[in-house]
Chains A and B, each alone.
Chain A
């Protein structure tokens, strides 16, 4: 958006300098206004969505005592509205997905961007981007039919576990993470690599010490987008995590027990709930919690990236 603003700003000065008539400037202004409107409307819509969420979900936080919201049981038809199992469920599935997807995605991106010969890169990249186009429900189905029995055979009491969900989500986040971090690596100016190699660094040292830090911003954005996709995913997760509102015992085994995520809860219970009931507003309350969690992740990422990094990437993209 900022890039677009700069471009049109430059053109306006040239147009004014050459004095090519009112029509061109008028046309410029229309286009600028349209672009501005499109930008502003996104902000307006996000605000409206949040206000709507607040309006529908606020009774949750007013009518249910906090102690109950932090309870360990989610059984809304008997008035038990403990959100802890759902939070733990979402957290386990997402953390699992990040642990699997980030290293794998980064390594793949480094291979594609720095090591693979150009012809191989030209073949691999479109294929990876095609993976992003697989509908999540298809992945969910795959997880349900193929992955869950596999995990059960590995010794888990049931194949429908947080780990199964993490695997599916990791697979979903991978194309985003690979594609965007590879773009970021690609945008690092060739002079950086040449410089590093010229002072005697090995290829690995160049990648680790020079290219990766230079592409930091883009990589953080890639991970963030991948995580955002993971935490918001619903249907595929609902199919493979078992949906038991249970808080697993702390330890590595917790990834192999069934969990119920926030998104799956909303999706599963929205259909039959009476409008205006406490249960109904609690589902919106979960929506608010999800919104805040995503917002927190985004702000944290923005802080990590910092402004200096952002400018560097923008120049890279130009």
Chain B
């Protein structure tokens, strides 16, 4: 008897879990149904492009429902090129791009009678951080790559003390992890198949990385600029290669592109936007939209 009743709370818990799982699965079709319904009201924004931006764009679209429930925003990924092509063909209202439009693309758009207008919506910059006691101030991307792939395992090889390097990274599900893999570990080379060394500590959060950096003099990690507190962590100045200038990460160096591990994230519209699209873009670039940028680990735009 006693054992049966001990099992009951657990049983209820399992039932509750099952219910919540089915509730989650059931939600998705409803969402798309309501989107389709509101398109008829002609208040729908088609938003397509960069996979880097897709989560951010989805988060904005979701949050914007509470600001103006009558506007529905359909977000799709597919890559920056796809989004820009769709903008040129006039099938989307906003194209997401993690790079600037090429001259050729702008020319093609203008031939089609579309004048693309660029909006910077966020900055994607990663600061390389170490403990304040670490004597190393600057590193090159090839050095970082060698460290993170395990080819260099001691700080003395990059001008530091004779101590082992403790590598910190975000979990693999983080977009930042993938960006770091592509741009730093693989140095931006397409054919490069290097991956993180197995001894890399994978932290579940940005805060996990910063707090380990604060207490471990041999640790190195990366984090979105928004998460770094210069009083407690030291930001490393990074150069593209041994000849290049070493640039410290900042919102300014991130925005003008001189910091090598940063890029602007853009949205393009066909012509100067008005009405619903303008309101939406203003909201994205305003404090509310930029708060979401910070939440997802990107660098928010400076607010005047």
| Interface flag for A196 (CB, 8 Å) | no
Binds A, one of B34-42, B165-173, B272-280: B165-173
**Smallest CB–CB gap between B193 and chain A, Å?**
8
Among candidates A45, A78, A243, A245, residue contacting B204 with C-beta atoms closer than 8 Å: A243
* A42–B11 CA distance with the chains assembled, in angstroms: 7
**Smallest CB–CB gap between B170 and chain A, Å?**
10
Q: Is A157 within 8 A of B171, CB to CB? A: no
Among candidates A148, A149, A260, residue contacting B202 with C-beta atoms closer than 8 Å: A260
Residue of A nearest to B214 (CB): A149
Extra contacts, 4 of them, besides A1-B4, A4-B1 (Cβ < 8 A), are A1-B3, A75-B196, A243-B171, A272-B174
| Interface flag for B67 (CB, 8 Å) | no
* A50–B44 CA distance with the chains assembled, in angstroms: 44
Q: Can you identify 7 A-B contacts, CB atoms within 8 angstroms? A: A1-B3, A3-B1, A42-B11, A77-B172, A242-B201, A243-B201, A247-B198
Tell me how many residue pairs across A and B have CB atoms closer than 8 Å. Answer: 86
Among candidates A41, A45, A160, residue contacting B201 with C-beta atoms closer than 8 Å: A160
Q: Is A77 within 8 A of B178, CB to CB? A: yes
**Smallest CB–CB gap between A70 and chain B, Å?**
15
| Interface flag for B215 (CB, 8 Å) | yes
| Interface flag for B134 (CB, 8 Å) | no
| Interface flag for B128 (CB, 8 Å) | no
* A271–B175 CA distance with the chains assembled, in angstroms: 13
Given contacts A4-B1, A75-B172, contact A243 B11 (CB under 8 A): no
| Interface residues of B, dominant DSSP | mixed
Q: Is A152 within 8 A of B198, CB to CB? A: no
| Interface flag for A278 (CB, 8 Å) | no
Residue of A nearest to B25 (CB): A275
**Smallest CB–CB gap between B58 and chain A, Å?**
13
Q: How big is the B interface, by class? A: 20 to 34
> Chain B contacts of A75 at CB under 8 A?
172, 195-196
Q: Is A45 within 8 A of B11, CB to CB? A: yes
Q: Is B173 within 8 A of A273, CB to CB? A: yes
Residue of B nearest to A80 (CB): B195
Q: Is A246 within 8 A of B11, CB to CB? A: no
Residue of B nearest to A74 (CB): B198
Q: Is B172 within 8 A of A76, CB to CB? A: yes
A267-307 interface bits toward B, Cβ cutoff 8 Å, 1 = contact, 0 = none:
01101110000000000000000000000000000000000
| Interface flag for B203 (CB, 8 Å) | yes
Q: Is A159 within 8 A of B4, CB to CB? A: no
Q: Is B215 within 8 A of A152, CB to CB? A: yes
**Smallest CB–CB gap between B117 and chain A, Å?**
32
Given contacts A243-B201, A243-B204, A244-B199, contact A269 B11 (CB under 8 A): no
**Smallest CB–CB gap between B108 and chain A, Å?**
33
| Interface flag for B14 (CB, 8 Å) | yes
* A80–B199 CA distance with the chains assembled, in angstroms: 15
> Chain B contacts of A9 at CB under 8 A?
none
Q: Is B7 within 8 A of A38, CB to CB? A: yes
> Chain A contacts of B245 at CB under 8 A?
none
